Amino acid sequence: MKIAIIGCGNMGMAFANSFIQYNLVKKEDLLLIEKNKERGDILQEQKAGVVVDTISEKISSVNLVILSVKPQDYPSVSDELKQYLRPGQLVLSIMAGIPIKKIQESLSYPLIIRAMPNTPALLGMGMTAFASAPEVGLSDIRLAENLINSTGRAVFLEEESLLDAVTGLSGSGPAYFFYLIKNMIDAGIAMGFDPSMSALLVKQTMLGSYHLMQTSDKSLDELIQAVASKGGTTEAALKTFGEKEVGQGLQKGIFAARDRAVELAK
């Protein structure tokens, strides 16, 4: 198995490192194409794979090409890539927004899988949803699924258009989680804790709450109710969240992320 990754930033390397860790590809068979010199030099130093700075005929010999540049950089990538693609190669895009049809047209090439991962893939704890062009065969879909499984969980979507909602929900989701935690820590600091004590209180609370949610047979509403004693402190917080429309604000943010994914396709 030979793999090329075009754009070796956060997500490209999260994938590359998982493939290496699970022996799905050997470093000498991993072509890392990174335009950014500083990043390329770091990857060279780390001996992360065969590091190059441009798309070349080397790409013609790989089985799988992963597109992990920012969507805005894709037009220049497709112009270069299309001349080197050979029949039978599989192209896996993790770029937000850009639909399979558009990738097929820009590359004049049919075998495209589109996936939306998230950064916990760095730890093998990612969540990725993916969809496939109708031209891609079952064995290639399985191949992509096996590779994605090395980065965490994978779900196959029959309906590609849902990938934009996935982007808003789980693709960007880690940032919402960190945003929530940051604001809780800041509230702790505002109430007089030093930053490290506030961080400990908040992070352990979130960790314990996550496991409680996963192991409990109660619904989320019931779990909230179990914390919110009648006339107590949690109720005061929840009342304020309601007045400030925190939940609705969060949902609006997620819809905005989804809408931006749709926009990036244009």
Ligand X SMILES: NC(=O)C1=CN([C@@H]2O[C@H](COP(=O)(O)OP(=O)(O)OC[C@H]3O[C@@H](n4cnc5c(N)ncnc54)[C@H](OP(=O)(O)O)[C@@H]3O)[C@@H](O)[C@H]2O)C=CC1
Ligand Y SMILES: O=C(O)[C@@H]1CCC=N1
Contact positions toward ligand Y, by CB under 6 A?
Answer: 96, 167, 171-172
- Footprint of ligand X on 61-80 (CB under 6 A): 68-71, 73, 76-77
Q: Is 136 left (phi over 0), alpha (psi -120 to 50) or beta?
A: beta
String of contacts with ligand X for each residue 165-204, x by CB under 6 A = ------x---------------------------------
Window contacting ligand X (CB under 6 A); options: 103-111, 116-124, 141-149, 215-223: 116-124
Tell the smallest beta-carbon distance from residue 85 to ligand Y (Å).
25
Report the residue number, 8 or 198, with the smaller CB distance to ligand X.
8
Tell the smallest beta-carbon distance from residue 210 to ligand Y (Å).
21
129 touching ligand X, by CB under 6 A: no
String of contacts with ligand X for each residue 31-60, x by CB under 6 A = --xxxx--x---------------------
Give the interface with ligand X as residue ranges (CB under 6 A).
6-7, 9-12, 33-36, 39, 68-71, 73, 76-77, 94-96, 116-119, 171
